[in-house]
Amino acid sequence: MSTRQILDGEYEPSPSQWVRDQVDLYERTGGREGNTLLDTGLPVVILSTRGRKSGNVRKSALMRVEHDGRYAVIGSQGGAPEHPSWVHNLRAAPDEVALQDGPEPFAARAREVEGDERALWWDRAVAAYPPYADYRERTDRHIPVFVVDPA
């Protein structure tokens, strides 16, 4: 089953060549290749969302933050002053989500978390990918944390 079957609509690849290439390699190999962030060796997942403006399917390779079959996705964008586009897409269509962690994608739902739940997932995220702590120091914005659960 492909993500396109889970999220109907036209796939609009990322404007970033390395993201397009990584998503393609990950999906083409069922997650056997393209499954880590560049040369870090740290695992990634593929998040698919519905574009809030285009309505097209958008895909991003994001750090794998998993606990008991649930995932968190962190809108850090390396500490940039703006949120990544996928944050706006999740806020607009939290029920039109797919996540791939391995050979097959699955339909999912996302919800933005705050308070103690956010703190718990933030700590898990930093444990999975320590640079998140540095990213928080680089920006004045509140970095969004979403929990993604299988639908």
Q: State mean pLDDT over 90-113.
A: 97
pLDDT bracket for residue 4 (50, 70, 90): very low
Let me know: does 147 contact 79? Beta carbons within 8 Å: no
4 DSSP assignment: H
Asked whether residue 38 carries a pLDDT value surpassing 90, the answer given is: no
Distance CA 50, CA 57 (A): 5
Per-residue pLDDT tens for 112-139? 999 999 999 999 999 999 999 999 999 9
Does this model's pTM top 0.85? My answer is yes
Please give the helix or strand (H or E) that residue 7 lies within, else none.
none
User: Which domains, and CATH codes, for the chain?
Assistant: 3-150 (2.30.110.10)
Of the listed ranges 1-10, 36-45, 65-74, the least confidently predicted one is 1-10
Helices (H), 7-146: 17-28, 85-92, 115-128, 131-138
The greatest distance separating any two alpha carbons of the chain, rounded to the nearest whole angstrom, comes to 40
Distance CA 132, CA 137 (A): 9
Mean pLDDT over each residue of the chain, to the nearest integer: 94
Asked whether residue 1 carries a pLDDT value surpassing 50, the answer given is: no
Distance CA 17, CA 25 (A): 12
Let me know: does 40 contact 104? Beta carbons within 8 Å: no
**Percentage of residues of the chain with pLDDT beyond 90:** 91
Per-residue pLDDT tens for 20-32? 999 999 999 999 9
Backbone phi, then psi, for 64, in 5-degree steps? -85, 110
pLDDT bracket for residue 91 (50, 70, 90): very high
Q: Which residue has the tokens 């391995």?
A: 102
Asked whether residue 2 carries a pLDDT value surpassing 80, the answer given is: no
Q: Which residue has the tokens 């998993």?
A: 66
